[in-house]
């Protein structure tokens, strides 16, 4: 096998995601040495909550989610995660 390229250091998950979306991992990883992995006893990392929203707001969220072709609950999670991440940078 030819010499593998060195994987760059990434400053964020988004930067790493963008890198792997445009680069072939076989140039950086010797997949012939990969071994199967099992992950026993994995538990969901999510927790169900109840959230009451005004109907008009929920309707607008559903419209935005439809425009993005994604479930409205997923859009709410994305928006919340982005807002929390953004607010952490200002403190």
pLDDT tens per residue across span 11-55: 999 999 999 999 999 999 999 989 998 888 787 788 899 999 999
Burial of 6 (0-12, 13-18, 19+ CB in 10 A): exposed
Largest separation between any pair of C-alpha atoms in the chain: 60
Q: Please give the pLDDT value at position 91.
A: 58
> Full-prediction pTM beyond 0.75?
no
CA distance 58 to 74: 13
CA distance 13 to 23: 15
């Amino acid at each position: 096998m030819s010499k593998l390229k060195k994987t760059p250091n990434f400053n964020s998950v988004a930067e790493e995601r963008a890198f792997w979306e445009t680069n072939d991992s076989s140039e950086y990883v010797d997949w012939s040495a990969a071994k199967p992995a099992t992950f026993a006893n994995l538990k969901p990392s999510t927790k169900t909550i109840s959230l009451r929203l005004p109907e008009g707001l929920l309707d607008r969220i559903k419209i935005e989610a439809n425009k993005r072709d994604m479930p409205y609950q997923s859009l709410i999670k994305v928006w919340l995660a982005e807002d929390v991440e953004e607010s952490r940078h200002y403190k």
